[in-house]
Amino acid sequence: MDKFQFINKLEFNDLPKTSGVYCFFDKKNLLYIGKAINLKDRVKNHFFQPSYRDNLFIDKVNRIGYLETNSEIEALILEANLIKKHQPKFNVVWKDDKNYFYVAITNSNCPIVYITHRPFGEAQGRQTEDAEYIGPFIEGTPLKKTLKFLRRAFPYYTSKMHPKNKCTWCHLGLCPGPLVLSEAEGNTDLTENPSAGSGLREYRRNLKKLSLILQGKKGAVLNSLKKEMIQFSKEHKFEEAGKTRDRINNLQQIMAHTGVIEVVKTSTLPNAGVTLAKILNIKNPVSRVECYDISNIQGKFATGSMVVFINGDSDKNEYKKFKIKMENEPNDIAMLKEILQRRFSHPEWKFPEVILIDGGIAQLNVAISVKNEKVETKDIKVISIAKRNKDLYIEGRTNFIPLKTLPREIYNLVLQLDDEAHRFAISYHKKLRKESLLK
């Protein structure tokens, strides 16, 4: 599908950290299409901190497709074109055509450009303006930003009226400027200018290029501009050739480096602390959770990580990394014991109510043993997650609990903690390996 690359569900480490478009499939059908500044972070957020809308389909996801783009603007445009082409079920569920955004370019003698919720004319009891509608775009703010930047390369009118002299937008290079509207002085209606000359013809050509850009045809526009520049040079119209060259450079700069997509703020999990306390039989809501993981290759360059979540959100200022002191012994249990003993020797690092260990019953038991060595840490509750089947082991309970049977906010919290601890341990492990090669 559209040159997408695919990964299986939850294989987030295979996703790039670049801008692009992603899509979710169940076993057969396309469920949802979205855009991202950072594909890896955005896709993970759907699973680990889902919105109420995500919860409608996230359990159905079987595989994930992604397509990298060269810029955020390209991601915005590609998302719109793919939604128009494929009509994913859960994009359509949340939006109707009254809520999507469209760019309208009127078919008048001197066209104007504006953003609208596309009307469908008589079928909805309204008149549809004679215009080209480009879209649908999901969000209005990124679209407004995109048009604002593209207007620098292709200045356009947003109103049928223009003052006799240059307006503010003209001075900013965003408006084509006053045209000779008619022989009658003071006539400022742009639609009544059938005798306009080369300026209006150039304006129309530029709007055609703007339309093609918004349809994802940047390459065709750049090729057209380059041909125009060459032709101007052949005709010794060097001023026009220079202007076209500047427009090419401006367009390339805009498309490659402009940020328009809004960062999706990861929502906290305000109910997770209360729910987790109930599950673990803790009197007060859980506010601080620490998670630990080990990374090593046959005992070499072994590292440990401690990540901290407070009130459901990661607090990177509280993260700690450990260079394992024991050497040449690939013993994850002993390594875990070492980093926990070192951690608990630092009471100035606020102690958590809960610690999560990456591993099964053996890792759980060693963590319980270490925290019980000190009076001030005995009340900390220990849980561990066995990755293979995603089973949760809880201190004081004989049987494990399948993670998928727990409330969604706990499922998300545990997986996100474990994933973050693993990432942090791996990054430090790779750093130590790299440093050893440079010695």
Whether residue 96 is contained in a domain is answered as: no
pLDDT computed for residue 198 by the predictor: 66
Residues 282 and 320 in one domain: yes
Residue that is last in its domain, among 34, 64, 89: 89
pLDDT computed for residue 121 by the predictor: 44
Residues 167 and 64 in one domain: no
pLDDT higher at 184 or 226: 226
pLDDT higher at 365 or 166: 365
Residues 47 and 111 in one domain: no
- Split into its structural domains, the chain has a count of 3
Residues 75 and 128 in one domain: no
Residues 373 and 301 in one domain: yes
pLDDT computed for residue 301 by the predictor: 75
Is the separation of the CB atoms in 366 and 380 below 8 Å? no
How far from each other are the two terminal CA atoms of the chain, in whole angstroms?
47
pLDDT higher at 363 or 140: 363
Residues 50 and 151 in one domain: no
How many residues does this entry show for the chain? 439
Whether residue 136 is contained in a domain is answered as: yes
Whether residue 266 is contained in a domain is answered as: no
74-79: average pLDDT: 93
Is the separation of the CB atoms in 261 and 36 below 8 Å? yes
Whether residue 211 is contained in a domain is answered as: yes
pLDDT higher at 328 or 6: 6
Residue 13: domain span: 5-89
Residues 246 and 349 in one domain: no
Residues 244 and 280 in one domain: no
pLDDT computed for residue 76 by the predictor: 93
Q: Which stretches of 358-407 are DSSP H helices? A: 361-371
Name the least confident of 46-55, 110-119, 182-191. 182-191
Whether residue 71 is contained in a domain is answered as: yes
84-111: average pLDDT: 78
Name the least confident of 27-31, 32-36, 56-60, 98-102. 98-102
* DSSP conformational letter for 194: T
Q: What is the mean pLDDT of the chain?
A: 83
pLDDT computed for residue 97 by the predictor: 47
Q: Which residue has the tokens 């220079």?
A: 242
CATH number at residue 68: 3.40.1440.10
pLDDT computed for residue 368 by the predictor: 96
* DSSP conformational letter for 161: B
Whether residue 358 is contained in a domain is answered as: yes
Residue that is last in its domain, among 89, 119, 154: 89
Cα–Cα distances in angstroms (integers) from residue 166 to residues 114, 155, 178, 210, 286, in the given order: 20, 13, 6, 23, 62
pLDDT digits (tens, 9 = 90+) for 145-185: 999 999 999 999 888 777 778 888 878 888 887 763 332 23
pLDDT computed for residue 214 by the predictor: 93
Please say if the pLDDT value at position 370 is more than 90: yes
pLDDT higher at 192 or 14: 14
Residue 331 tokens read as: 């013993």
Name the pLDDT band for 262 (thresholds 50, 70, 90). confident
Class of residue 143 by CB neighbours under 10 A (exposed 0-12, middle 13-18, buried 19+): buried
Whether residue 94 is contained in a domain is answered as: no
Residues 278 and 379 in one domain: yes
Residues 292 and 402 in one domain: yes
CATH number at residue 324: 3.30.420.340
Residues with Cβ within 8 Å of residue 256, at least 6 apart in sequence: 70, 71
Q: What is the distance of C-alpha 416 from the center of its chain?
A: 17
Residues 105 and 231 in one domain: yes
Residue that is last in its domain, among 89, 123, 155: 89
Residues 290 and 405 in one domain: yes
Please say if the pLDDT value at position 45 is more than 90: no
pLDDT higher at 293 or 257: 293
